[in-house]
């Protein structure tokens, strides 16, 4: 098997720490890019302090690197995120890396008026034009991302949710698939979606059932273009339902 040193941005995050683990288990050398090295860094990884948006520390972080997996993100500042993505591409080209993988969101390009998703889609365009040997791995919303959004709405006597379709996926399954994707080192776009397409109302009902709560769930059709797109199912990929763990099962395991 080909091995090498993979610089993983976002390897301290929810998805990244799972992927870093998978890659090390597969015999790869993983260098973690983080803005602040932890007090007790995991000795299975090399650690590089740096910031992909400001560029601080990137020269050292890229030394001796064969590949990059970029999954860090800055959801609060999408325009800065794009600057950072372009910066990583430049460093990758200068370092002559053999493969650059970027993580995206299924359907992000089709959700208008949502700067974070627009930036994710533009970042993919930048990558495809960068001249790097590149690949893209898109996932649907993680169960662990959907749950707190729904739980926030729970405080009211009834649950008002936007009309829409989602296909949430287990983050551990995404991490395993993303690691396999990276190791293929092929210039492809791959999508990974959860096992079921459900309405947001159905997901809310499953959450309430798991908590033994009884409240009416009411769907409202928000007139914003972004929600109209979500209603049409642009965030889903039924033909790519490759995840096994349903939201209901994830809720059971979480309890």
Ligand X SMILES: NC(=O)c1ccc[n+]([C@@H]2O[C@H](COP(=O)([O-])OP(=O)(O)OC[C@H]3O[C@@H](n4cnc5c(N)ncnc54)[C@H](OP(=O)(O)O)[C@@H]3O)[C@@H](O)[C@H]2O)c1
The closest residue (CB) to ligand X is 13
Q: Does 204 bind ligand X (CB under 6 A)?
A: no
33 vs 136, beta carbon nearer ligand X? 33
> Shortest CA distance to 58 belongs to which of 38, 72, 77, 39?
72
Biggest CA–CA distance in the chain, Å, is 58
> Binding to ligand X (CB under 6 A): which residues in 86-115?
103, 105
Contacts of 110 (CB under 8 A, 6+ apart): 229, 234
Question: Minimum Å distance from CB 52 to ligand X?
Answer: 4
Give how far Cα 117 sits from Cα of 70, 80, 88, 148, 171, Å.
Answer: 16, 13, 19, 19, 19
Question: Minimum Å distance from CB 140 to ligand X?
Answer: 6
Distance CA 56, CA 86 (A): 14
168 in Cβ contact with 223 (< 8 Å)? no
Among 12, 130, 135, 246, binds ligand X (CB under 6 A): 12
Angle at 59 between CA 56 and CA 62, to 5 degrees: 120
121 vs 215, beta carbon nearer ligand X? 121
> Binding to ligand X (CB under 6 A): which residues in 139-158?
139, 141-142, 145
Question: Minimum Å distance from CB 34 to ligand X?
Answer: 3
Angle at 197 between CA 21 and CA 111, to 5 degrees: 85
84 vs 248, beta carbon nearer ligand X? 84
Of 45-53, 87-95, 197-205, 208-216, which segment contacts ligand X by CB under 6 A?
A: 45-53
Q: Does 13 bind ligand X (CB under 6 A)?
A: yes
Distance CA 20, CA 68 (A): 12
Question: Minimum Å distance from CB 105 to ligand X?
Answer: 4
Positions in the binding site for ligand X (CB under 6 A):
9-10, 12-16, 33-35, 51-53, 71-74, 103, 105, 120, 139, 141-142, 145
């Amino acid at each position: 098997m080909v091995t090498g040193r993979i610089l993983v941005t976002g390897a301290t995050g929810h998805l990244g720490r799972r992927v870093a683990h998978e890659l090390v288990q597969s015999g790869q050398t993983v260098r973690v890019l983080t803005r602040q090295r932890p007090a007790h860094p995991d000795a299975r990884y090399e650690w590089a302090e740096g910031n992909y948006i400001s560029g601080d520390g990137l020269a050292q972080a890229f030394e001796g690197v064969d590949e990059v997996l970029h999954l860090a993100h800055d959801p609060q500042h999408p325009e800065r995120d794009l600057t950072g993505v372009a910066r990583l591409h430049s460093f990758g080209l200068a370092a002559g890396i053999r493969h650059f993988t970027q993580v995206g969101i299924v359907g992000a390009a089709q959700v208008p008026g949502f700067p974070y998703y627009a930036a994710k889609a533009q970042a993919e365009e930048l990558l495809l034009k960068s001249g790097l040997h590149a690949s893209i791995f898109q996932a649907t919303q993680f169960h662990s991302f959907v749950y707190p959004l729904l739980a926030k709405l729970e405080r009211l006597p009834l649950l008002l949710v936007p009309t829409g379709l989602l296909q949430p996926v287990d983050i551990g399954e995404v991490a395993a698939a993303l690691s396999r994707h990276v190791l293929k080192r092929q210039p492809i776009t791959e999508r990974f979606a959860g096992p079921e397409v459900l309405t947001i109302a159905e997901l809310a009902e499953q959450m309430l059932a798991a908590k033994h709560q009884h409240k009416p769930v009411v769907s409202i059709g928000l007139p914003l273009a972004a929600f109209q797109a979500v209603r049409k199912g642009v965030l889903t990929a039924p033909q790519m339902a490759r995840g096994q763990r349903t939201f209901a099962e994830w809720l059971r395991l979480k309890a």
